[in-house]
Amino acid sequence: MSEVGTPSSAKSAQIPSGARQEPVADAISHRTMLSSTTVYQGRIWDVVSDTFSLTPGSKPLTRDYIAHPGAVAIVVLNDANQVLLLRQYRHPVKMELWEIPAGLLDVEGEDFVIGAARELAEEADLIAAQWHVLTDFFNSPGSSSEAIRIYLARQISAVPEADRHVRTDEEAEIELRWVDLDEAATAVLEGRIHNPSAVVGILAAAAAAREGFASLRDSHAPWPAHPGNRAQ
């Protein structure tokens, strides 16, 4: 008879006392690729159709997905522990979303941190002197190869007026606002912020802040999940 609230199957799966578990970590897993074809070429990204087998000789599977160059996003904190949010119209969802600065890694050979600094200057007219990796994530791994690295940027200053990027199209409507980090985290948990980079970045920053950001990785930490590092 199992204990109340503990199914017998769950009890039998418990790790024996003293047993050592490996840390939870995603891992590259190359499978047998049979074919790969670009079925649609877009202005920014393509759609690819791959046929592969999970094990040698097993039934072939075909999956279509967006081939994406990767992206960076930035949680910017000022000395008052406020995070910079920007509001921008996103046509696919037909909403104005509160986001953090972000952009594509679409410049060949560009260092990831340099790309993040470029996006921060272009979208928010800011320069940061201190950079750390906050977290990495896949935006939609069932349908896209996109990987996003989120940086924490601090010790900020303004881009000189003469050097500022001229924002056009949707970016011309960008509205900037400084929000207390705890308030931003509450907005995420209450469902008032939907942008995935903002959701992940804000909650990661709120968690890291509780230990004084002591465990964050160096800004040039390896990024094995970037699309360029997962090529088969």
The average pLDDT across 141-154 equals 96
Nearest to residue 129, comparing CAs of 149, 159, 173?
159
98 & 116 share domain:
yes
Q: Are residues 63 and 75 in the same domain?
A: no
Q: pLDDT category, 2, cuts 50, 70, 90?
A: very low
pLDDT, tens digit (0-9, with 9 covering 90-100), for 47-66: 999 999 999 989 999 999 99
pLDDT score for 18: 65
Residue in the structure block whose two tokens are 């260092």 = 111
**Domain interval for residue 38:** 29-67
pLDDT tens digits for range 98-131: 999 999 998 888 999 999 999 999 999 999 999 9
Query: What number is the average pLDDT over the span 210-223?
Result: 95
The overall average pLDDT reported for the chain is 91
Q: How far apart are CA 80 and CA 77, in angstroms?
A: 8
Do the domain assignments include residue 164? yes
Q: Does 231 fall in a domain?
A: no
Residues 96 and 159 placed together within one structural domain of the fold? yes
- Is the residue at 228 inside a domain? no
Nearest of 196, 204, 200, 228 to residue 92 by alpha carbon: 196
Q: Assess whether 119 and 86 both reside in one domain.
A: yes
Per the structure, how many domains does the chain have?
Answer: 2
155 touches 183 (CB < 8 A): no
Verify that 98 and 190 share a domain, yes or no: yes
Residue 171 falls in the annotated catalytic set: yes
Residue 11: what pLDDT?
A: 52
- Which residue in 146, 170, 171, 173 is the catalytic one? 171
Q: Does 12 have pLDDT greater than 60?
A: no
The rounded percent of the chain whose pLDDT value lies above 70 is 92
For residue 44, the model assigns a pLDDT of 86
- Same domain for 152 and 202, yes or no, is yes
Q: Tokens 């004084």 — which residue?
A: 212
Of 129, 100, 99, which Cα lies nearest the Cα of 113? 129
Tell which of 13, 45, 67 closes a domain: 67
| Least confident range of 8-12, 138-142, 196-200 | 8-12
